[in-house]
């Protein structure tokens, strides 16, 4: 299989590239190396005989058409992805997430690629009613299905929803083979340190305060990056064209619980937690129903969250030089 992975020097993308190479695929990685994309994430595969790295922008139509030639499958993971950044400046999100996806779709159609995999997010669904993950009524609480209304509430999620709609429009209008995956909050090695888990690890190690939005009871479903990438590959091979597949971790936790767990593992005092003003439009709860992926793709998360979080913390402790490298670039 010959693959193009856009955003392949990022967190999820670099994990996907390694898994594809392990499966004997030939991979071209296209990444603009903006703040969250770093060649260090691909260190061990940059010289792999079946891998080629190209630095470039998915909005560059000429370059996209060049790298997409002779490709069987396109995995689009190139995206501006941080909600806070989208609130303060949304134009880069519109440009990359919407116009960039449109550029890729047009090139894929012209090149006759066999499948286009649009990697999206559960945030396109908006928010669910709050339910305590540890409460008695949690087992009966609903999660987002692929048929849930698309109701994004941040500039970031709005641009991802637009990209999903564009991808499905290319399927309906032009017959392009398209599959969309929507993953829940993802954690693991090589995540850019502004995201919740690596940020809290870094600040706790430095003895700094850990800023938690509002009351800290916002609920997220956590999925390991290895499971997420594995689900994307399963969707690329076994997914039905024109459908979306939710990829969830089955691990709903409040943000405050996650932060307290990090402090406990690092043996740091809970007094480091600092509640700060909530961000605008902060979704209260996300939860994923991944029944379709389980039934159709034979996929389910394999990593227990608490064990996975401990492994994640250990990775950051052992890779301080990685943190220093990406924070300086």
Count, residues in the chain: 329
User: What distance in Å separates the CA atoms of residue 161 and residue 148, rounded to the nearest whole number?
Assistant: 13
User: What distance in Å separates the CA atoms of residue 179 and residue 196, rounded to the nearest whole number?
Assistant: 28
Residue partners of 286: CB distance under 8 A and separation at least 6: 122, 123, 125, 127, 128, 144, 184, 185, 219, 220, 221
Q: Which sign does the torsion angle of CA 120, 125, 126, 132 carry?
A: negative
306 included as an active-site residue: no
User: What distance in Å separates the CA atoms of residue 12 and residue 5, rounded to the nearest whole number?
Assistant: 11
Name the percent of the chain in helix, strand, coil, to the closest 5: 45, 20, 35
Query: What is the DSSP track for 258-270?
Result: HHHHHHHHTT--G
Locate 306 and state its tokens: 């608490």
245 included as an active-site residue: no
156 included as an active-site residue: yes
Catalytic residue among 31, 57, 80, 123: 123
Catalytic residue among 125, 156, 192, 245: 156
User: What distance in Å separates the CA atoms of residue 20 and residue 1, rounded to the nearest whole number?
Assistant: 9
For residue 37, give Cα distances in angstroms to 6, 46, 185: 11, 14, 18
Catalytic residue among 57, 80, 122, 226: 122
- Residues serving a catalytic function are 122-123, 156
């Amino acid at each position: 299989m010959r693959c193009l992975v856009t955003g392949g020097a990022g967190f999820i993308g670099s994990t996907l590239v390694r898994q594809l190479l392990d499966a004997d695929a030939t991979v071209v990685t296209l990444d603009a190396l903006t703040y969250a994309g770093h060649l260090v994430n691909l260190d061990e595969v940059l010289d792999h005989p079946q891998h080629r790295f190209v630095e470039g922008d998915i909005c560059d139509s000429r370059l996209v058409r060049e790298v997409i030639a002779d490709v069987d499958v396109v995995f689009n993971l190139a995206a501006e992805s941080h909600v806070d950044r989208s609130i303060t400046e949304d134009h880069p999100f519109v440009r990359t997430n919407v116009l960039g996806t449109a550029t890729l779709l047009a090139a894929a159609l012209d090149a006759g690629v066999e499948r286009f995999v649009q990697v999206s997010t559960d945030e396109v669904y908006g928010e669910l009613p709050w339910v305590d993950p540890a409460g008695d009524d949690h087992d009966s609480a609903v999660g987002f299905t692929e048929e849930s209304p698309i109701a994004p509430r941040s500039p970031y999620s709005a641009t991802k929803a637009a990209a999903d709609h564009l991808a499905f429009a290319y399927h309906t209008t032009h017959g392009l083979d398209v599959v969309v995956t929507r993953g829940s909050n993802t954690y693991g090695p090589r995540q850019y340190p502004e995201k919740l888990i690596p940020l809290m690890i870094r600040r706790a190690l430095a003895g700094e305060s850990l800023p938690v939005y509002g009351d800290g009871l916002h609920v997220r479903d956590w999925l390991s990056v290895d499971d997420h990438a594995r689900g994307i590959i399963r969707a690329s091979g076994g997914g039905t064209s024109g459908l979306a597949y939710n990829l969830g971790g089955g691990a709903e936790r409040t943000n405050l619980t996650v932060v307290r767990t990090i402090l406990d593992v690092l043996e740091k005092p809970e007094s480091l937690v600092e509640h700060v003003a909530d961000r605008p439009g902060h979704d209260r709860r996300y939860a994923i129903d991944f029944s379709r992926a389980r039934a159709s793709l034979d996929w389910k998360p394999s990593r227990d969250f608490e064990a996975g979080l401990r492994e994640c913390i250990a990775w950051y402790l052992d890779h301080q030089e990685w943190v220093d490298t990406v924070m300086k670039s």
